[in-house]
Each structure stands twice: as C-alpha cells, then as structure tokens.
Structure 1
Amino acid sequence: MGNELIKRSLVELAVEQLRRRIVEGSWKVGERLPTEPELAAELGISRNTVREAMRVLAFSGLVEVRQGDGSYLRTAQDPLHAIQAMARCTPEQARETRHILEAEAIGLAALRRTEQDLLELRAALAGSAEHYHADLDTYVHCDLLFHQRLVDAAHNPALSELYRYFSGVVAAALERNMTALPRCQAVFDLHGEILDAVEQRDPERAKRLCRALIES
C-alpha cells in the first residue's frame, strides 16, 4: 500500500471516529470542539490527520471552522446520505428538484428581498459577466454564487441550506451543458431578467424566467 493510500485510510478512520462521537452526542450543537492537538492525543493519531478529517467534516457541513477561533459543531445531523443521494440523481431528477426548490425560492425572494440583497445580487451578476469568457470552473463558481444569493434572498434558512448542498449537482449539470454546447448570451441574459423581476417584486415573472433558465 502506498503512502498516499495509508494517509487516506487514516483520514477516513479519523472521520468515522469523529462522526460517531458527534452522532452519540459527545458535543452540543454550537459547542467549540477540542483543539487539533487535543483530538490527536485523544484519538492516537497525528495532528495532520486530524486537520484533514476536520476539513472533510467542514465540507460535509457538520463542522464550522472559524479562522483563529477553532472548530464548532454546526449540526449533529450528518448530511452525508443526503449528499450521496443528490450525487446519484439523474439529470431529469436534478431538473425537477431545481424547479421545486430554486424557482419557488426565487418567487419568495421577489417578495422578501432587501436593498442589501439587491446590492449583493448585482455584485454577483457583475462577477459572472466579468468571467463569462473565463475558464469553465471560474465561470460556474461565479454563476453558482449568483444563484445561491437569489435563494438566500428568500430569507428562509432551510431553503438556503438545502440549496447549498444541492449546488454541487447544479454545478455538474452546468459543466455538462456548457461543455457540450457553446455559451449562449441569451441564456446569460436571463439572469439579468430574473434579477430585474426580483427587484420589481414580481414573483410570477421571476419564477417563469427561472423555469426558462432551468430548461435552457
């Protein structure tokens, strides 16, 4: 077994040990977790392995890492199975989910958005426009930020969190479409029209435009 495989298996083992403790209630939600040296001593592994394991837990949404302040338990409900289910869904299932989740959230955003939301949405759309001809990864990252901010403007934390997990599926779909087809200015322009409908507080138009974008 190569060094990289050994390292990976040690990290996976550490992740499982930490997940078990979280599920068993060793720490309360919002509680600061022990430091990396403390966890390393407790689990009998290296600090580097603990650091890598904490990155995995942060990525899966269980743990929040605050720079200079340590790691905090974000939730005791492990979203791993939900993420795995999302990753296995077909393009058609992903499209259905976007219609239910994203279009409805954008309808709410049109009713609830604040001036601060509009400022952040304009900034995100400007970032997308600036990177429209950049490499695919950069553009998709900018586009997802715009979509996440649209959903966030609904001011429903549950919808925002669901979309945050689902955005990996959206990213894969965008990359698939944009690799197969040339980038289309008319499709990009729909983003501006959606923002306009949200600004004008027109939920039905916002939802209609969002559905057109999902189907494009």
Structure 2
Amino acid sequence: MRQTIERLRAEVAAGTWPVGSRIPTEPRLVEAYGVGRNTVREAVRALVHAGVLECRQGSGTYVVGTDELAGAVAQRVTDDRLGEAVEVRRALEIEAARLAAIRRTEADLAALDGALAARAAAWRTGRADVFVEADAALHTAVVTAAHNAMFAELYASFGAALRASVAAAVGPDLRPDRYVDHDRLVAAIRAQDPTRAAEEAARFLNHPSRN
C-alpha cells in the first residue's frame, strides 16, 4: 500500500490533479495502478487523513493541498484564524518582495507583467472567485522572482490560506473601494528597489480589507 500512497502523493505534487480538482474514481485508479480496490481505498484514506485529499459525499474525492503541510494549513484556515493567515502572509510576502527586487530577471518581469494584467482583467469580470485566483497568481509570481526554492515550496503550502485571506478581503462582491492596485509593487521590483518593494508589500497587508 505504501507504494500506492506515494504514487498518489506524487501525482498531486506534480499537479496531475490541481488543488480543487477531483481525482479519478476508485475503479479508474485500480485500473491505472494495477492494484486492488482495498489498496486504493486505504491509500486515499491515508491522504485524506493527512489533509491532502477530501472526500465529499455524493461528489467524489478532491485535492485540497499539494502536500501534508499544505493540507495541515488548509485545515486550520477558519474564519476566526484569518487574522493569523494575514500575519503569515506579511512575514512571507514582505521578504519575498524584497528578495525579488534584488534577484529578479527579465523573465521574472515578463511573468509579473502578465500576472498583473491578468489580475486587472479578472477584476473586470466581476467574479470574486476569478479575481482571487488571479491575485494569488501575482503574489506567487513575486515569490518565484525571489529565487529561493525553499521559500517557494513553503509559500506553495500556504496556498489555501492565501486564497482564503484574499477571498475574505474582497468579499463575495467586487466593490471599487476594495480594489488595491499592485502596480507600484511590481514597479519597485522592476526598479530593483528592495526597500520600496517591501514597503509596498506591507502596505496592502496592513489592513484586513486589503489583498
């Protein structure tokens, strides 16, 4: 069974089934892995217990985290702990912005520009769920530009908490007074100004209604 657990875990980590998606049905996994039904069932159960998968009655089994750390964080994100999530975001994103300003490449700038444009376009759709994903993608691009693999892995595990905090900030309806422009953050990274980049990252995380 251990091999089946590791194979399932590897598929999730590789993004074969992205966070939020449903994994194949039990019969399909049995066929794909060449193991018994009980083996697949126990392997899925183990990853559910670890917080990587979630079984939803009548719907199937879904990916809720890329690894055990992500699952553990996701399980702890509740309404009364969103303040803690924002504090963790500050610790991670301020330093990421500072490092990104020092280490960014031309390829990073292109990725940041694309993510910034996608974020603005997502806001114009009027759909909160679309905007949350686009906002998270921009912040992830900043972390990527910091060029610290361990930092990036840790931030990836924080994905569920990040999205929850952004969703709480913007609310179910996108209102103009809740929009926070991130142009100055990207501009500071482009200018290779670590102090200003850190200040910009801190600015929109100082208030619970910011994202």
Evaluate the alpha carbon distance shift between residue 113 and residue 91 of structure 1 in structure 2; reply closer, same or farther with a 3 A threshold.
same
TM-score, normalising length: structure 2: 0.67
1:110 to 96, 101, 104: 101
The Cα offsets for residues 122-165 of structure 1, whole Å up to 9 and x where unpaired, read as: 00110111111221111111111010000110000111111112
Alignment partner, residue 202 of structure 1: 193
Give the secondary structure class of the aligned counterpart of 1:61: coil
C-alpha contact 1:197 1:206 (8 A) present in aligned 2: yes
* Deviation for aligned residue 1:86: 4.5
The Cα offsets for residues 101-127 of structure 1, whole Å up to 9 and x where unpaired, read as: 111111000000000000010001101
Q: Distance in 1 between matches of 2:31 and 2:83?
A: 46
Structure 2 runs not aligned, ≥5 long = 7-13, 15-28, 54-61
* Deviation for aligned residue 1:46: 8.2
1:101 matched to 2:92: yes
1:45 matched to 2:37: yes
Q: Distance in 2 between matches of 1:19 and 1:82?
A: 22
TM-score, normalising length: structure 1: 0.66
2:147 to 136, 152, 155: 155
C-alpha contact 1:110 1:201 (8 A) present in aligned 2: yes
Structure 1 runs of 4+ with >6 Å offset = 46-55
Q: Distance in 1 between matches of 2:203 and 2:70?
A: 31
1:169 matched to 2:174: no
* Deviation for aligned residue 1:180: 6.8
Structure showing greater Rg? 1
Report how many aligned residue pairs link the two structures.
172
- The letter for the 1-side match of 2:100 is A
Q: Distance in 2 between matches of 1:180 and 1:21?
A: 37
C-alpha contact 1:40 1:46 (8 A) present in aligned 2: no
- The letter for the 1-side match of 2:99 is L
* Deviation for aligned residue 1:166: 0.9
* Deviation for aligned residue 1:181: 7.5
Taking only the aligned residue pairs, the percentage that are identical comes to 26
* Deviation for aligned residue 1:184: 3.7
Evaluate the alpha carbon distance shift between residue 186 and residue 83 of structure 1 in structure 2; reply closer, same or farther with a 3 A threshold.
closer
Structure 1 runs not aligned, ≥5 long = 1-16, 23-29, 63-77
Question: RMSD of the alignment, in Å?
Answer: 3.6
